[in-house]
Structure 1
Amino acid sequence: MKNLMKTKVNKKGFTLAELLIVVAIIAVLVAISIPIFTSQLEKSRDATDEANVRSAIAEVTAAVLSDDKTDSGDVTYSKKDDGDGTYTMTVKAKGQKAGWSGAASTTESIKIGGIEVKPSTKGWTVSGTSEGDKIKVEEDK
């Protein structure tokens, strides 16, 4: 009897109930953190899209101002029959949901360099003519 009591006292470790409580706490923390993580991930994708469109606008503007007729980098030059040339650049969307992180709604446009840019899940085409017309940003369909 004395040996039985001694072995019971010397056992160390966690009980099943304690382990279940720890697992339940971890499950609750994971359930809370996943939506927060995914919303932050989408915000970072929106910021990437905005930066990419901003960069495309700058590149097309530089091509229009320099009136360089050769394709350079991602900007392509195409000439129509009427003599008017167009510089275009396509930007693929990184975001999986349409909308901008800084906009009040998912359908609201934002202004980048004074140009209205609508949200998209596919991408945008930035274009400007060699005649010096305004730079346009159109949503890819």
Structure 2
Amino acid sequence: MIRRELQEHKWGFIYLPWIVASFMSIVVVLVYLGLTEVNTENFKFSAKIFSDSEVIQAMKNSTADQRSEAIRAGLVVLGSPLVIALGFALLAFSLSTFFDERKDKSIIFWRSLPVSDTFTVFSKLIVATIVAPLLVIPALLFLH
């Protein structure tokens, strides 16, 4: 049952995390090479900070806790698009999981199998709460 759900929703659970991770890694490489910058009011992601002597001195004088906090914040910012994409994929999965089966009449086929409705709903819940987040972990590791 879980394999069936993954086959039916492979774009959202398997391909989408890798597409987002690839896009984010391309952005990081472009920023690292100095070809682009990401600037907002509260956040600046640029290679120009490494030529600023004030920033370099602040990095040298920082404690280990401050460095680990800065790295943790950077990794959260880097991984948040994947989590947002997973949220949209789970929303689309949750909204369409029963509606699509009724629309294309495949629910009649699945009801003819010796599997209870409780087991079917439970398998869909397992996919949404356990399997889909586990499928995003390799893309997060690739990105970090």
TM over 0.5: no
Q: Tell me which protein shows more strand as a share of its residues.
A: 1
> Which one scores higher on RCO, CA 8 angstroms, separation ≥ 6?
2
Larger radius of gyration: 1
Q: Tell me which protein shows more helix as a share of its residues.
A: 2
TM-score (normalizing by structure 1): 0.30
